[in-house]
Structure formats: structure tokens, C-alpha cells
Amino acid sequence: MKRLKITAEGRVQGVFFRDSTRNKATELGICGFVRNQPDGKVYIEAEGECAALECFSQWCHKGPKWARVDKVEIVECPPVGGMNFIIT
């Protein structure tokens, strides 16, 4: 298990990015959260198995079909546990 802090930049707000992120995380068995930032970015904390997080982080570089992801920053941090993935 590991946890990633992910920040996505580009056209990532107003394009169902958060809802699509939650759906992808749930599909992969990842827990954590996603939220919009005041600066127009989307911030994600995702925790799960390494293989699932690899798939998830690759998806974050594309996002949903309406998004345009210009930049993704990923930082690994210690896992904290969790049961589901929510939009905050």
C-alpha cells in the first residue's frame, strides 16, 4: 500500500474531472479524495495497491474526455488508511 498526492493542472475544473476521478478510483479499489483548488487545479490524495495506483496516475495524466491535462505533479507519502473515495 502507498499513498499519492496528485495535482492536475490545465482545463480540469468544470469538465467532470472530480466525478470521473472518483469513478476511476472506485473501479480500481483506491481510497482517498479529490477536490478543486482555488487556483484552478485539482488536488487528489489516492491510496491503494501499487499496481492500481500506477494505472490511476496514468489516467490522471489524461482525465475525462472533456479535460485537457497540461501538467501532473505526484508526491508519494505514507498511507493513512481509508475505506472509500470521496469528492470534497
Digit-coded pLDDT (tens) for 5-55: 999 999 999 999 999 999 999 999 999 999 999 999 999 999 999 999 999
Provide the pLDDT for residue 74.
98
CATH of domain 2-87: 3.30.70.100
Per annotation, catalytic residue among 11, 22, 36, 84: 36
Provide the pLDDT for residue 48.
97
pTM of the model: 0.95
Domain boundaries, the chain: 2-87
C-alpha dihedral (2, 5, 11, 13), degrees to nearest 10 = 100
Mean pLDDT of 59-65: 97
- Would you call 36 a catalytic residue per the annotation? yes
Per annotation, catalytic residue among 11, 18, 22, 35: 18
Provide the pLDDT for residue 18.
98
CA 48 – CA 2 distance, rounded (Å): 6
CB atoms within 10 A of CB 41: 17
Provide the pLDDT for residue 30.
98
- Would you call 18 a catalytic residue per the annotation? yes
